[in-house]
Amino acid sequence: MAQQAIEFRREVPLRHDVDVFVAGGGPAGVAAALAAARQGARVYLAEGQFCFGGMGTAAGLPLFCMFTDGVNFLAGGIGREIYDRLFAMPGGVVRSKRGDSSIQYPPEALKVVYDEMVSGAGLEFSLGTHLVGVQSEDGWVRHAFCWGKSGLFAVRAKAFVDATGDGDLCAWAGAPFEKGDAEGLMQPGSLLSFWSPVDWKKAEEAGNGQWRQEHRLPEAIRDGVFSVPEPHMPGLIQSGLHAGVGSFGHLFGIDGTDERSLTRGVIEGRRRFHEYETYFKRYLVGYEDMELVGSGELVGIRETRRILGDYVLNAEDYFRRAVFADEIGRYCYGMDAHPRRLEDASRSVEDFKKLRLKKGESYGIPYRILTPRGLHNVLAAGRCVSTDRSVQSSLRVMPGCFILGQAAGVAAAMTAAGDADIRSLSVPELQGRLAELGAYLPNRA
């Protein structure tokens, strides 16, 4: 049956009248809002959850991928500040044992880091606030509409940053996008789970500590422990002295832009927790006492819309370690596309091992991947920027999103100051301002 459409019209209060509106306060949105505020712009940041950080907090992820390429600190500026503040948190963070520049942390600690940075930045913000629509004319967005417990309200801004992860604002304003592969399949989501106590020392000594928990999966699969027999899992990641975050049980076929699909995902994720509990307790050492103490407020989503911009950063650029005249940063994490379906599971793990860059190597990120086609005063930031699926699987990780968000924030402030098109700003000036913030820009003229 064709879906009926109902017109919904009403007047809503104009609550924020600012230079820059940032939708979404994950790593990209926080970086964008802070960067725009540091340029002197009046900023309003709306975040749907009751914490900043997106996947790295609300979904429960406890691990930053690479901040550096092993030689250079790529997420310079705001990314660097977040990194330093985390290390300074009471209780400390757990350093990665992978030997790269990734760090592990308790998600609650990261929430406080973001709270402090955003609260001290002189910008307007509210949590529990969802972007629900936009009003635009000929590619110029004039107002955004948000919903919070007080009801609907409007935000007027000169420039907009879409840091929703899913490209909601860009898509609703009419920007073209791609989603998934030719069949529309995307990387699977994961519902993260929190477990304690874990005896990490004992697990390590028994040879099944962090990143070494997979070896008995085949046996457990044969024993019928799992209803979905996945041959691989990222595993239980240490997030504190005695705590761990479970990143296991891929949710295949879930679309993070559709709440009905997310509903199926969250129910499926919760259903499978006890299977992994059985695996850890019955087949591994060090996990005997662990209990489920919680799960993510958000389903962990790796991939949804890729907003088509003036350039699409692609695998060829990654492999040639591309340099661009309009570079706003460089990044290096390997292509890490989780399997779209169960049958592809083994291949994607092998691919990840093959598709890494070497120490000191990185690829350029051009400004044009932040500028959505057909829109004049909107910038995309974070995992929805204009890339092919291969590059998305590298750039989507949080330090990459700090680089993207920081650049989008500065560009939005410049756009708002000139009341101009995002394409008319001076790229050398943008790069100069980014360099002042601490961005890594070795190819700047």
**Closer to ligand FAD by Cβ: residue 163 or 225:** 163
Instruction: List the alpha helices (DSSP H) in 285-338.
Output: 315-319
Least Å from the CB of residue 382 to ligand FAD: 2
Give yes or no for residue 398 binding ligand FAD (CB under 6 A).
Answer: yes
Restricted to residues 178-197, the positions that interact with ligand FAD (CB under 6 A) are 190
- DSSP three-state, residue 143: strand
Q: Name the helix (H) or strand (E) containing 168.
A: helix 168-172
3 state SS of 154: strand
Contacts of 199 (CB under 8 A, 6+ apart): 242, 286, 287, 288, 289
Residue 298: CB minimum distance to ligand FAD, A: 6
CB of 330 to ligand FAD, least distance (A): 16
Per CB under 6 A, 243 contacts ligand FAD: no
Task: Name the CA radius of gyration of the chain, rounded.
Answer: 21
Q: Which of 46, 307, 337, 407 binds ligand FAD (CB under 6 A)?
A: 46
55 lines the binding site for ligand FAD (CB under 6 A): yes
The nearest distance, CB 75 to ligand FAD, in angstroms, is 10
Using alpha carbons, select from 399, 195, 218 the residue that is nearest to residue 292. Answer: 195
Q: Which helix (H) or strand (E) holds 21?
A: strand 14-23
Q: 203 vs 380, which CB is nearer to ligand FAD?
A: 380
Residue 54 contacts ligand FAD per CB under 6 A = yes
* Residue ranges in 127-156 that form contacts with ligand FAD under rule CB under 6 A: 130-131
Q: Which is nearer to ligand FAD, 29 or 286 (CB)?
A: 29
Stretch that binds ligand FAD, among 61-69, 73-81, 350-358, 409-417 (CB under 6 A): 61-69
- Using DSSP bridges, classify how beta strands 177-179 and 14-23 pair: parallel, antiparallel or unpaired: unpaired
Asked if 301 is part of the footprint of ligand FAD (rule: CB under 6 A), the reply reads yes
369 in contact with ligand FAD (CB under 6 A): no
Helix (H), strand (E), coil (C) string for 30-97? HHHHHHHHHCCCCEEEECCCCCCCHHHCCCCCCEECCCECCCCECCCCHHHHHHHHHHHCCCCCEECC
Q: What is the DSSP letter of 100?
A: S
- 414 contacts 377 by C-beta, under 8 angstroms: no
- Nearest 5°: phi and psi at 398? -60, -45
Interface segment toward ligand FAD; rule CB under 6 A; list 23-31, 196-204, 349-357, 386-394: 23-31
Peptide bond connecting 197 to the previous residue in cis, omega within 30 degrees of 0: yes
Which residue reads 């879409």 in tokens? Answer: 162
Interface with ligand FAD, residue 210, by CB under 6 A: no
Q: Per rule CB under 6 A, is residue 34 in the interface with ligand FAD?
A: no
397 lines the binding site for ligand FAD (CB under 6 A): yes
**CA–CA distance, 34 with 79 (Å, rounded to integer):** 11
Sole window of 84-92, 308-316, 317-325, 395-403 interacting with ligand FAD (rule: CB under 6 A): 395-403
Q: How far, in Å, are 363, 394, 428 from residue 367 at the CA level?
A: 13, 17, 11
What's the gap between Cα 195 and its chain centre? 23
Q: Does 372 bind ligand FAD (CB under 6 A)?
A: no
Q: SS3 for 60?
A: coil
- Applying the rule CB under 6 A, the residues between 401 and 430 that interact with ligand FAD are 401
- The residue with tokens 């050492």 is 285
Strands 189-190 and 14-23 turn out to be unpaired
Are the CB atoms for 265 and 254 separated by under 8 Å?
A: yes
65 binds ligand FAD (CB under 6 A): yes
The residue (of 187 and 415) whose beta carbon lies closer to ligand FAD is 187
We find the least distance from the C-beta atom of residue 167 to ligand FAD, in angstroms, to be: 9
Verify binding: residue 80, ligand FAD, rule CB under 6 A.
no
For position 307 contacting ligand FAD by CB under 6 A, the verdict is no
- Residue 164 in contact with ligand FAD, rule: CB under 6 A: yes
Distance CA 375, CA 134 (A): 12
166 vs 214, beta carbon nearer ligand FAD: 166
Task: Note whether 47 binds ligand FAD by CB under 6 A.
Answer: yes
Helix axes 78-88, 107-119, angle to 10 degrees: 120
Asked whether position 363 contacts ligand FAD by CB under 6 A, the answer is no
Contact call for residues 399 and 68 (beta carbons, < 8 A): no
| Distance, CA of 242 to CA of 201 (rounded, Å) | 10
- Binding residue (CB under 6 A) for ligand FAD from 111, 179, 272, 302: 302
61 binds ligand FAD (CB under 6 A): yes
**Can residue 29 be called a binding residue for ligand FAD (CB under 6 A)?**
yes
The verdict on 48 binding ligand FAD (CB under 6 A) reads yes
Residue numbers of the site for ligand FAD (CB under 6 A)? Answer: 23-29, 46-49, 54-56, 58-59, 61, 63-65, 130-131, 163-166, 168, 190, 247, 300-302, 382-383, 396-398, 401
